[in-house]
Amino acid sequence: MPKRAGRTKEKWAIICPRCESRVIYYRNKTRDFVCRRCGAIFKPEITKR
C-alpha cells in the first residue's frame, strides 16, 4: 500500500477541469476548490449537500 499524503477523499466527487485530477480540497474562506496536483482554483457547477 502506498503512503497517502494528507486527505485525498472529499465529500464531493469533483474532477479538476484543467488536469482531470480528483485530488481536490475545499477552501471554506473563499468557497472554492483547489486542485492539489496542478493548483487550479475553481468554483464547481454542481455540489452535493
Per residue of the chain (49 residues), give pLDDT as tens: 555 555 545 455 778 888 888 888 888 888 888 888 898 888 876 555 5
Query: What pTM did the predictor assign?
Result: 0.54
What is residue 5's predicted lDDT score, i.e. its pLDDT?
Answer: 54
What is residue 7's predicted lDDT score, i.e. its pLDDT?
Answer: 53
Burial class (CB in 10 A: 0-12, 13-18, 19+), 26: middle
Give alpha helix (H) positions in 1-49.
Answer: none
What is residue 49's predicted lDDT score, i.e. its pLDDT?
Answer: 54
What is residue 22's predicted lDDT score, i.e. its pLDDT?
Answer: 80
